[in-house]
Structure 1
């Protein structure tokens, strides 16, 4: 499995500038091989990681799970 390291702050700033979602970027990265994406802070510390699936169908399933979990966390904080 290939590993990709991404500086989280710059990545999310780029998404905002380009007005795109991380899921669109992830979809473009799919090539039939799983990849581990490691998000780093500015000090190179691991913030979180994500295993990019090998096909678009699995990515869409991950997106639904993420959206549900994110909505639940937002609801808990309000």
Structure 2
């Protein structure tokens, strides 16, 4: 399994500048092999991990699950 390390702040700023979502980028990274994506802060502290699936179908399912969980978390704060 490949490991991809990403500086979170730079990654999300670049997405914002290019008008892309992280899911668009993840879709481009799919190559038939699972990949561990590790996000770091500017001090190299690990923030979170994401296991990029092997297929676009699995990625779409992850996106749906993430959206649902995110909406539930936001609702808890309101």
TM-score surpassing 0.5? yes
Aligned-residue Cα RMSD (Å) equals: 0.3
Unpaired runs of 5+ residues, structure 1, are: none
C-alpha displacement at 1:52, in angstroms? 0.1
Name the structure 2 match of 1:30. 30
Following the alignment from structure 1 to structure 2, what is the Cα–Cα distance between the partners of residues 73 and 42?
Answer: 25
Pair 1:51-2:51 in alignment: yes
SS in 1 for 2:64: helix
SS in 2 for 1:70: helix
Pair 1:69-2:69 in alignment: yes
Following the alignment from structure 1 to structure 2, what is the Cα–Cα distance between the partners of residues 38 and 77?
Answer: 27
Unpaired runs of 5+ residues, structure 2, are: none
Following the alignment from structure 2 to structure 1, what is the Cα–Cα distance between the partners of residues 44 and 66?
Answer: 24
TM-score, L = length of structure 1 = 0.99
SS in 2 for 1:20: coil
User: How many positions carry a matched residue from both structures?
Assistant: 78
Give every structure 1 segment of 4 or more consecutive aligned residues whose post-TM-superposition deviation is greater than 3 Å. none
C-alpha displacement at 1:63, in angstroms? 0.2
